[in-house]
Structure formats: structure tokens, C-alpha cells
Amino acid sequence: MNWIKVLPENELPLNDRKVVKVEQRNILLVHHNNQIYALENSCPHMKLPLKKGKITDDGAIVCPFHRSAFDLATGNPTEWITFPPGINKLMGMVSKEKSVPVFPTRVEEGNIWVGLQ
């Protein structure tokens, strides 16, 4: 595991989010429920950015475009293309559910670190 320092901890207060560029990847950091999550800022459906997605009570981020939702900790989909209504009947047949890559994080010496393979 290659740990990379990405941001001073105080630049990501609770309930905030930020995109950082790490080795050609856009990584979305989310500070939610006293945890810092790191996931690729790209919805696996159409590669559109997840940054503005709403966070659900059970800790998933909802893609603002067609409302697939992904668990912040695992990246696994909890919903797949639910908007506009009825679309998943159509799209579900041609677009298989996919996960968002997630990365481990840690805070050390006042900085946030992300682990890449």
C-alpha cells in the first residue's frame, strides 16, 4: 500500500467534502459521521462526478444524475439508476451494477492520507 498525504485535516471539517487529485485520479474525500471516506469522484454508470451527491442516513452517496447510490465505506451500489422513474427497467438491462473504487484513509500529524494500491 502506498500512502499519500492529500490534505491538511483542518481543511475538511465534518460534513464537508473535497476532491483531490492523486496520481491521475480524482478522489472525493467525504467527512461524514466522524469518518473520512475516500472514493473515486466518478459514478461508474456514466463517469459523471459524484461530488455534489446527497449523503443518505445510512452512509451512501447518491449520484446527482440518475441517482444510483454507493456505500461510502465499500463503494458497493445500494441503488442503481433510479432516475428518471422507470429508467432502470430500460437501463438495468444494458447497464450492469458496478461499484465505485474506494480507498483507505488515515489521519496522522494533522494530515489526511489516502492509501493506493
Query: Is 26 a residue that touches ligand FES (CB under 6 A)?
Result: no
- Identify which range of 3-11, 26-34, 64-72, 102-110 contacts ligand FES by CB under 6 A: 64-72
Tell me if 60 contacts ligand FES by CB under 6 A.
Answer: no
Q: Are 3 and 106 in contact (CB under 8 A)?
A: yes
Considering the complex, what minimum distance in angstroms separates the CB of residue 16 from ligand FES? 22
Percent helix, strand and coil across the chain, each rounded to 5? 10, 45, 50
- Residue 117, C-alpha cell as written in the block: 494500491
Check residue 87 and report its DSSP letter.
Answer: H
Which residues contact ligand FES by CB under 6 A?
A: 43, 45-46, 48, 63, 65-66, 68, 81
